[in-house]
Amino acid sequence: MSETARSKRVLPDGCMDLLWDGGSLSVAGPDTRAFMAAGTAEPVRAMGVRLAPGVGPVVFGVPADELTDQRVALAALLPARRVAELAERVAVAGDTAAAGAALEEVAAGLLARSAAAPGPWPGAAVAALDGGLGVAATARLLGWSERQFRRRSVAAFGYGPKTLGRVLRLQRAVRLAAEPAAEVAARAGYADQAHMAREVRDLAGVPWTELLAGFG
């Protein structure tokens, strides 16, 4: 995917990303606030593979909270020689589609070679929280205490389940953006429209109307 001079607001979503900037590989950790990705003066072949919540730590071999709100070189997490070989696979791809496929293969290869496995619980936790279940109820669903749930969430998602729930609720609101704001607030799970306005400004960094204008 090419990038231009226009910057892009990347909303938090609980995911981690493997990124290619046209010359090197890097990792985007889980965000707690919107990240402004700067554009470039000239189009470049920049792209990324988004890893589902809980998968990134398995792929990169570090707890998610060590990368929260950070962008780091992949070589800071894995042996430099290995990263150079992986970067070469993407660099030699003939076009954007081929480079994207190569990047996906790199991510899949890192996951396949990991000694750990994501397990089913991160997906179950995300589904429950995204469905509107509270932290305590989700912990019970998983068979844990709230303290256990928080500890595991911080390592898997980069932050506790309460923050993850807020992030997922923002994503629900964005998916409903075509509806009137009051309807979005109700359907996304906010107490009211004022609650949504506060949360959007806190997580996205701009008011709801400005956030929507950026999607245009």
C-beta separation of 203 from 167 below 8 A? yes
Which of 112, 130, 145 is the C-terminal boundary of a domain? Answer: 112
Rg of the chain taking only CA atoms, in angstroms: 18
Q: Which residue has the tokens 């792929």?
A: 59
C-beta separation of 118 from 58 below 8 A? yes
- Helices and strands (DSSP H and E) totals, the chain: 10, 8
CB burial of residue 169 (10 Å; 0-12, 13-18, 19+): buried
State whether 84 and 168 are in the same domain. no
State whether 171 and 195 are in the same domain. yes
State whether 33 and 103 are in the same domain. yes
State whether 126 and 82 are in the same domain. no
State whether 32 and 49 are in the same domain. yes
State whether 100 and 176 are in the same domain. no
Residues near 25 by beta carbon (within 8 Å), at least 6 away in sequence: 18, 19, 73, 74, 75, 83, 86, 87, 90, 106
pTM above 0.75, yes or no: yes
State whether 142 and 190 are in the same domain. yes
Separation CA 153–CA 139 (nearest Å): 11
Which of 66, 88, 112 is the C-terminal boundary of a domain? Answer: 112
State whether 57 and 146 are in the same domain. no
Q: Structural domain of residue 82, as residue ranges?
A: 2-112
C-beta separation of 45 from 98 below 8 A? no
State whether 15 and 70 are in the same domain. yes
Separation CA 57–CA 46 (nearest Å): 23
Q: According to the model, what pLDDT value does residue 41 have? A: 53
DSSP state of 165: H
Tens digits of pLDDT across the chain (216 residues):
333 445 789 999 999 999 999 999 999 999 999 998 876 555 566 899 999 999 999 999 999 999 999 999 999 999 999 999 999 999 999 888 999 999 999 999 999 888 777 789 999 999 999 999 999 999 999 999 999 999 999 999 999 999 999 999 999 999 999 999 999 999 999 999 999 999 999 999 999 999 998 875
State whether 24 and 125 are in the same domain. no
Which of 112, 129, 150 is the C-terminal boundary of a domain? Answer: 112
Q: According to the model, what pLDDT value does residue 42 have? A: 55
Residues near 76 by beta carbon (within 8 Å), at least 6 away in sequence: none
CATH of the domain at 130: 1.10.10.60
State whether 135 and 105 are in the same domain. no
CA angle 191, 9, 189 (to 5 degrees): 15
State whether 138 and 76 are in the same domain. no
Count: domains in the chain: 2
Q: Which of 46, 41, 83, 42 is nearest to 61 (CA)?
A: 83
- Pseudo-torsion of CA 21, 99, 50, 87, nearest 10°? -60
Residues near 8 by beta carbon (within 8 Å), at least 6 away in sequence: 36, 37, 39
